[in-house]
Amino acid sequence: MRRAGIAMVAVVALVAVLAPALTPNQPDFRFPDRAYAPPMPVRVIDGEGRWRAPFVYPLRLADRLERRYEEDRTSPVPISWLSRGVVAQVSDGRHGPWLPLGADGSGRDVFARLVYGARLSLAVALAATLGAMLIGTLVGGIAGAAGGVVDETLMRLSDFVIVLPAMYVVLSLRAALPLVLPAAQVFALVAGILALVGWPIVARGVRAIVAAERERDYAQAALALGAGRARLLLRHLLPAARGFLAAQAALLVAAFILAEATLSFVGLGFPDPSVSWGVMLQDAANVSAMADAPWTLAPAAGIFLLVLGVNLAAPTTLSR
């Protein structure tokens, strides 16, 4: 199961990295006549049952008020492969855009937004995880190595943060800041807020491991040979927490992906035209997506698969 999880995470990461080469349209480009257009799947069998090279049927707007579309089965459009830096795209633009996963309410390509949204959601989660791991490792390592008043003070601080309802704290902190900010500032603020609420769990685990390891013979021998406390912590004690840190990092990435999606869903995330999975879900909430345009819920499937993959890929042991 762990290999399956690693494969799922690797696929999502690879898709995010290769986003410009995978999407036939730009994520923020609007096609006025394609609002809530349905997906246009790739086909190899035409309406007469004959096999042919991969193609798609173009869409025709049959009723503008009802947003009803029909496939034009008289004009199949072939797929061009590895053309103009894109893996696959339609070779004839006269029949309208190719929308592999359909369009949202603004006529934007859901597939393009899904792929590009993975970039932003993953980047925020990874940045927040890195910040939480650095703060938690530093605080926990110092507390476990120093003991006494230092240990007590730092652990009481972590207890204070832990007992707070994390999601409500994140929402409150973000809501207290200006709502309209550039995307770069929103990225830094969201990643920083998530890191601030995520470090205590890391700190407590690291502190417990370091406090136990400092009493072992090898640690006492290093001190007897003249090793300073900083060297002892960095070279001998913290490496004992590698397994715990790896497992905790995986859990934080999954939690922060959900947290970013929640922030964006309630309107406290990234501004337009930036796209993340949470922003897409906020857009999908404006319609009865399950009934009218279920393809706009594609980011929910992306979040589910990525979180599932991260949890499956997480180490199951805390060995050194």
Please write down the long-range contacts of 229-235, taking CB distance under 8 Å and 24 or more positions apart. Answer: 229/145, 229/146, 232/145, 233/141, 233/142, 233/145
Residue 57 sits in which domain range?
Answer: 40-98
- Other CB atoms within a 10 A radius of the CB of residue 126 amount to 17
- Model pLDDT, residue 66: 73
Residue 54 in any domain: the answer is yes
Query: How many domains does one find in the chain?
Result: 2
Task: Quickly count helices (H) and strands (E) in the chain.
Answer: 12, 6
Report whether 43 contacts 77 (CB < 8 A).
Answer: no
Q: Does residue 56 share a domain with residue 165?
A: no
| pLDDT tens, position by position, 26-73 | 998 999 888 889 999 999 988 778 888 899 999 888 887 777 888 888
pTM over 0.95: no
Mean pLDDT, the chain cut into blocks of 10 residues (320 residues total): 87 91 90 89 86 89 81 86 85 79 90 93 93 93 87 88 74 72 84 89 90 79 72 79 89 90 81 84 70 84 90 67
Distance CA 173, CA 171 (A): 6
Q: Does residue 295 share a domain with residue 171?
A: yes
Q: Does residue 302 share a domain with residue 179?
A: yes
Q: Does residue 169 share a domain with residue 139?
A: yes
Q: Does residue 280 share a domain with residue 133?
A: yes
Q: Does residue 77 share a domain with residue 210?
A: no
Residue 16 in any domain: the answer is no
Query: Rounded to whole angstroms, what are the CA distances from 247 to 40, 111, 159, 190, 238?
Result: 40, 31, 21, 23, 15
- CATH number of residue 200's parent domain: 1.10.3720.10
Residue 64 in any domain: the answer is yes
Residue 124 in any domain: the answer is yes
